[in-house]
Chains A and B, each alone.
Chain A
Amino acid sequence: MEMILGTLDVLILRGLTWGPKHGYAVARWIEESSRGSLTVLDGALYTSLHRMEDRGWIAAEWGVSPLGRRAKFYRLTPPGRKQLQNETKEWTDYVAAIGRVLRTTAEPG
């Protein structure tokens, strides 16, 4: 399944809610939590990460990965957390609205 444009950001933000992650870990989290049904180009993921860092939603810091390698870890900032809440709400409202429409059985008129 292809990603709907603009939804990658919110997925990444969500992925960071359990604590700082490096880019690869975020990619793996998306793959696993969608059980492989969402395909994201890694390049797009990193672009999104850097953009959100620029916007101040996430902050980056160099650290050491569990396997002992130097890696860049991203964590949510308070504005990022707020952004995630808003986007999540918008998304669920949107899905609910679409769902309601699609589930309607009554003939209009």
Chain B
Amino acid sequence: MSDSGWRLFRPFWRPRVRDEVDDEMAFHFAMRIDQFVADGMTRADAERHAREQFGDVGEVRATLVGIDTFRRRRMDLRDKLDAILMDVRFAARSLRAHWGISLTIIGTLAMAIGATTAIFSVVNAVLIRPLPYGDAERLGFVFLDFRIRGVQAGVPLGDIPDVRSGAPGLDIATAEISLYQPFDPPGVTPRAVTSALVTANIFDVLQVPIVLGRNFVADDAKLNAPPRGPSFDTIAVVTPSRPTQIGILGYDFWQQQFHGDSSVIGKTIGVSMVPIQIVGVASPSAVLFTKNGQRTPDVWRVWRTDFTRASKLSGGLTLIARRKPRVSIDAVQRQLDQIGAGLRSRLPLLRSAGAYPRFDPMQAYLVRGVRPAIIALMGAVVFLLLIACANVASLLLVRAAQRERELVVRSAIGGSPWRILRQLLVESVLLSSIAAVVGVTLAAFAVPLLVRLAPSDVPRLTDVSIDRTVLLFALAIAGAVSIVAGTAPAIRVWKPRIAAVLRTSTRITAFGAPTRLRNTMAVTEVALSFVLLIGCGLMVRTFVALTRADLGFEPSGVLTFRLTNRIFRGPADFASFVPRIHDALVAAPGVISATMSMALPLGGSNPSGPLGTTAARTDSTLFREASYRYVLPDYFETMRIPLLAGRTFRNEEDVPGQRVVVIDDETARRSFGHESAIGKTLVARVPTATYQELTVIGVVKHERHTSLVGSEMPAIYFPEAVVTNGGGAWIVRTTGDPMALVPSVRAAIARVNPELFIEEIRPMTSYVDGAMAPTRFALTLIGLFSVIAVFLAAVGLYGVLSSVVRLRTAEIGIRMAFGADRANIFSLIIVHGFRLAAVGLGVGVVLALATTRVMTSLLAGVQPTDPITFATMSVLFLCVVAAACWVPAHRASALDPMIALRED
């Protein structure tokens, strides 16, 4: 047995330190006593004298045991360290000796660990990690599903009491976010804040703690102001004296604006000139999620309203609802179904629209848009991980084959199997450790890159960190692969067929079975990477479709911005505000034209409402949902939307009550078929709560407003943007770079009112870019993964063919000797490679047909089974295969027959 074997058992048989010391002292005393007795002492005297001669027996014994124990421990430790160090040094030497293969393994593993960790960290942050509320799984949103019109809307304020009383399983709160509110505490620089108008129970429903002061109480909402709907038609011209509201500050806002001063409690601040008395500070986790992203309100203020007196027809609010303990989602939905039935029977409008209240778990609802993309990426990265593992296993088997004889010889000359196994283990661990360090570093760089690349509508991407569980998982996988594949050669040593191996004449022999294994691996890699390549091809086609999409408007040369909500000094001030801004912008140098719209195309918000022909007056089920677009008269000219028939708005039409509308070609086609729409009547519900008849004066080309391709709602344009408070988006056209216009726009606005804040100043093209972001994101990642995958597959094929060439060197020599020319030999190897690739490709096509369906929601203008993509990618892949086969085939055909024959 070798040294290391002995070391394993030594602790069991070697004597304890204490016994050795006792033995040594016993011997000494025996000798001393004998000596003294020989000198003529009595035995008792001799014993006493020996003890005196020794000193303090107990103390010396303890000292000796101490010294020896310490020494033994130190030596054991040194032995172990020496052994490990030696193994590591040996392993490092062996890895260096095959540096090409080692580097490839490390690179492949590191890439797999890095990519998997990065992607899964995003998956975890977005899909898995619970929302930052207490017991967040119980939270949800309640909507009205308008089934006939195919839209979801909030619950009208007047119906909220019905929902509350009819759904006892839910605690219901509401929160309405207002961006860019002017904020003016005395002595502080004015700035714009985000405020949330909430019901008093919001923090109880969300389960967000208050860190300072007190939470809202029901009395804070005591009514002393008339109820106000969130839709823009009820904008109040505010009077200077408004009743004080009760407010709670957001944590970050409190830190930034008040430097965390606790004396802020009890003070009064002003938001949009509403005095707000601060009673508390919420925890940093006090955020709100909307379909447009995550918002952190700076000020939470209690809404003083009596929902029982609010309109049942007004615009609605999405309700934030918490399921009570032991109430299932199904039970909640049953309660809501009953409420829905009641509402529909009482309100014909809701009946004809097919309105059904619905509870959606909050997290699932928030991620529903990005979920398919993330699932697809997750699938892609798992494929990549599998390919990398197959590749590494394959490479390790090559190494195993190369050193099989070394191991067998070592075993034959007495190397213990334990020792050889340990050596292989240390090598594998060393390989995967280096790969792990590199991989984690890669992931650390990749995560921020991913976050920057991701479309802005991916929720909760703000704080993605490398997830520890994911990291451990990736490390475990990589470690397992390299350890299993790396120690496989030790089987040879355990099953001693030493003589057989030493006797055989070919270079690689006993690993005949692994050759088959490696063929399988290569086929797997080809198949998996082909699936990724198909995914990439489909994304490329989508991307091309998006870049070629007809927007219906001309985004270049257009600058857009918003103005903060503003308080008006009276009706005259209010009425003249938008025209004054408009005139100032048009007069600014460099401006060709300027206009305003409540919502920007591709800007994220898309107000809509029912629209029908006169027939819908008698049968309200004929109403369909249309995009409501409130614009200033020169909107079409500024956006360069082609006019197809009739005329656009005249300047004098930008006052309320004109009852004229412009529609897009989609609306015209759906409402009137092939007849001319001009002069016809449409019925819509704007801006009042009741339906009214509108006359069509013009038809324009459909303008893309939610996405670049695919079907979307038809649009109807109203000239009433002028009645808004200027809170819409301003649109300015110039020649050349729109951002160059920023200074003159700022100056123009400042001339109208120096207190106005300009927000979100961006070129129109950035909204178009934003609409392409999800596709660009998915394309970049899937593209990157598929390139790596194809490369790995090519390396795998190359590896298999290289060893085939080595294996068949003698055979090739014989073939040449019998007259085969170089072309024959070349095609021999090429055919082998293409046979493997063809099998892989076949499997890949089937796999791709089965899996690309998950990408459907990411695709536009192309089917997941698009034959052109499949054909193109197959050809591309075969080119890669040819390249991978070329080198080994060429090497085989270039062999010198004489040398080949002599080979082993």
How far is it, in angstroms, between the C-alpha of A70 and the C-alpha of B802 when the chains are bound?
66
* Residue A46 CB within 8 A of the other chain: yes
Within 8 A of A (CB), among B776-809: none
Q: Does A89 interact with chain B (Cβ within 8 Å)?
A: no
**Would you call A104 an interface residue if the criterion is a C-beta within 8 Å of the partner chain's C-beta atoms?**
no
- Cα–Cα distance between A54 and B20 once the two chains are bound (Å): 15
Inter-chain contacts of A50 with B (CB < 8 A)? 63-64, 67-68
Are A47 and B27 within 8 A (Cβ)? no
- A43 and B68 in contact, given A24-B31, A71-B27 (Cβ under 8 angstroms): no
Does residue A14 face the partner (Cβ distance < 8 Å to B)? no
Task: State which residues 38-77 of A face B: CB under 8 Å.
Answer: 41-44, 46-47, 50-51, 53-54, 65, 69-72
When C-beta atoms are compared, the residue in chain B nearest to A72 turns out to be B24
Chain B interface size band reads 20 to 34
Q: How far is the CA of A28 from the CA of B28 in the complex (A)?
A: 11
* Chain A: CB-nearest residue to B20: A72
**Is there contact, CB below 8 Å, between B25 and A69?**
no
CB distance from A14 to the nearest CB of B (A): 20
B23 adjacent to A70 (CB under 8 Å): yes
Residues from chain B with Cβ under 8 Å of A71 in the complex: 24, 27
* A28 contact set on B, CB distance < 8 A: 35
Tell me whether A41 and B27 are in contact (CB under 8 A): no
Across the interface, name the chain A residue whose C-beta is closest to B70. Answer: A54
Q: What mask results when residues 54 to 68 of chain B are scored 1 for a CB within 8 Å of chain A, else 0?
A: 111101100110011
The residues of A that contact B59 with a CB separation of less than 8 Å are 43
Please state if B64 and A47 are interface contacts (CB–CB under 8 Å): yes
Contacting A at CB under 8 A, from B49-101, are 50, 53-57, 59-60, 63-64, 67-68, 70-71
Known contacts being A43-B57, A47-B60, is A65 close to B27, with CB within 8 Å? yes
What does the 1/0 interface line of B226-239 toward A look like (CB < 8 Å)?
A: 00000000000000
Q: Determine the chain B residues whose CB is within 8 A of the CB of A72 once the complex forms.
A: 20, 23-24, 27
- Nearest chain-B residue to A24 (Cβ)? B31
Does B492 touch A at the CB level, under 8 Å?
no
Complex alpha-carbon distance, A54 and B70, angstroms:
9
- A window 20-43: CB within 8 A of B: 22-24, 27-28, 41-43
The residue on B at minimum CB distance from A40 is B53
Identity of the chain A residue whose Cβ is nearest the Cβ of B15 in the assembled complex: A62
Q: With A24-B31, A41-B53, A69-B30 as given contacts, are A46 and B25 in contact (CB-CB < 8 Å)?
A: yes
Q: How far is the CB of B573 from chain A (nearest CB, A)?
A: 96
B54 touches A47 (CB 8 A): no
Assess the A43–B54 pair: CB atoms within 8 A.
yes
CA distance A51 to B25 in the complex (A): 16
- Distance between Cα atoms of A54 and B72 in the complex (Å): 9
Query: Which residues on the B side are within 8 Å of A24 (C-beta)?
Result: 27-28, 31-32
Point out the residues of chain A lying under 8 angstroms from B67, CB to CB.
47, 50-51, 53-54
Assuming the A-B contacts A42-B32, A50-B67, A53-B71, are A23 and B24 also in contact, with contact meaning beta carbons closer than 8 angstroms in the complex? Answer: yes
Q: Which residues of A contact B54 (CB under 8 A)?
A: 41-43
Chain A residue numbers with a CB within 8 Å of B56 are 43
* Tally of chain A residues near chain B (CB < 8 A): 20
A87 → chain B, closest Cβ, in Å?
20
Measured in the bound complex, the distance between the Cα atoms of B60 and A43 in whole Å is: 6
Interchain CB contact under 8 A, B60 and A70: no
Interface centre among A23, A50, A51, A72, by most B CB within 10 Å?
Answer: A50
Please state if A42 and B28 are interface contacts (CB–CB under 8 Å): yes
B803 vs chain A, min Cβ distance (A): 52
Q: List chain B residues, Cβ under 8 A from A42.
A: 28, 32, 50, 53-55
Which residues of the other chain, B, contact A53 by a CB distance below 8 angstroms? 67, 71
Cα distance A50–B62 when bound, in Å? 12
* Per-residue contact bits, chain B 378-409, to A (CB 8 Å; 1 contact, 0 not): 00000000000000000000000000000000
Q: How far is the CB of B71 from chain A (nearest CB, A)?
A: 5
B55 and A44 within 8 A (CB) = yes
Expressed in whole angstroms, the Cα–Cα distance for A28 and B27 within the complex equals 14
Q: Nearest chain B CB to A25's CB is how many angstroms away?
A: 8
Q: How far is the CA of A47 from the CA of B55 in the complex (A)?
A: 11
Known contacts A41-B54, A46-B60, A23 near B28 by CB under 8 Å: yes
B79 to chain A, nearest CB (A): 15
A41 to B71, CA, bound (A): 24
**Min CB gap B831→A, angstroms:** 68
Q: How far is the CA of A23 from the CA of B57 in the complex (A)?
A: 15
Beyond A47-B63, A50-B67, whether A41 also contacts B55 by CB under 8 A is: yes
Min CB gap B835→A, angstroms: 66
Give the docked Cα–Cα distance between A56 and B596 (Å).
91
Give min CB distance, B401 to chain A, whole Å. 46
CB–CB B30/A46 < 8 A: no
Q: Which residue of B lies closest to A22 (CB)?
A: B27
A53 and B67 CA atoms in complex are apart in Å by 9
B32 proximity list for chain A (CB < 8 A) = 24, 42
Write out the residue numbers on chain A whose beta carbons fall within 8 Å of the beta carbon of B24: 23, 46, 71-72
Query: Are B27 and A54 neighbours in the complex by a CB distance under 8 Å?
Result: no
Across the interface, which residues of B come within 8 angstroms of A70, CB to CB?
23, 27
Please give the distance in Å from A1's CB to the nearest CB on chain B.
16
**B30 proximity list for chain A (CB < 8 A):** 69
List residues of chain B with CB within 8 A of the CB of A47.
Answer: 60, 63-64, 67
Which residues of the partner chain A approach B50 to less than 8 Å between Cβ atoms?
42
Within 8 A of A (CB), among B1-48: 20, 23-25, 27-28, 30-32, 35
> Shortest beta-carbon distance, A15 to chain B, in Å?
15
Is the beta-carbon distance between B55 and A43 smaller than 8 angstroms? Answer: yes
**Closest Cβ–Cβ distance, residue B35 to chain A (whole Å):** 8
**Contact pick for B71, options A44, A46, A54, CB 8 Å:** A54
How far apart sit A53 and B55, CA to CA, in the bound complex (Å)?
Answer: 21
**Cα–Cα distance between A28 and B56 once the two chains are bound (Å):** 19
Q: Which residue of A lies closest to B50 (CB)?
A: A42
CA distance A43 to B59 in the complex (A): 9
In the complex, residue of chain A having the shortest beta-carbon distance to the beta carbon of B66: A50
Residues of B within 8 A of A69 (CB): 27, 30-31
Residue ID in chain A nearest B72 by CB atoms = A54
Q: Which of B788-846 contact A (CB under 8 A)?
A: none
What residues of B have a CB within 8 angstroms of the CB of A65 in the complex? 27, 31
Q: How far is the CA of A22 from the CA of B53 in the complex (A)?
A: 17
Contact flags (1/0) for B491-515 with A, using CB distance below 8 Å?
0000000000000000000000000
Residues of B within 8 A of A51 (CB): 67
Which residue of chain B is the closest to A53 with respect to CB atoms?
A: B71
Most buried by B among A23, A43, A71: A43
Provide the bound-state CA to CA distance between A47 and B303, in Å: 87
30 of the cross-chain contacts (CB-CB < 8 Å) are A22-B27, A23-B24, A23-B27, A24-B27, A24-B28, A24-B31, A28-B35, A41-B53, A42-B32, A42-B50, A42-B54, A43-B54, A43-B59, A44-B55, A46-B25, A46-B28, A47-B60, A50-B64, A50-B67, A50-B68, A53-B71, A54-B68, A54-B70, A65-B27, A65-B31, A69-B31, A70-B23, A71-B27, A72-B20, A72-B23
A contacts, CB < 8 Å to B: 22-24, 27-28, 41-44, 46-47, 50-51, 53-54, 65, 69-72
Q: What are the 9 closest A-B residue pairs judged by CB atoms, nearest first?
A: A43-B55, A43-B60, A41-B55, A24-B31, A42-B54, A50-B67, A54-B71, A72-B24, A71-B27
Not counting A41-B55, A47-B60, a sample of 19 additional A-B residue pairs whose C-beta atoms are within 8 angstroms of each other reads A22-B27, A23-B24, A24-B32, A28-B35, A41-B54, A42-B53, A42-B55, A43-B57, A43-B60, A44-B60, A46-B24, A47-B63, A47-B67, A50-B63, A53-B71, A54-B71, A65-B27, A69-B27, A72-B23
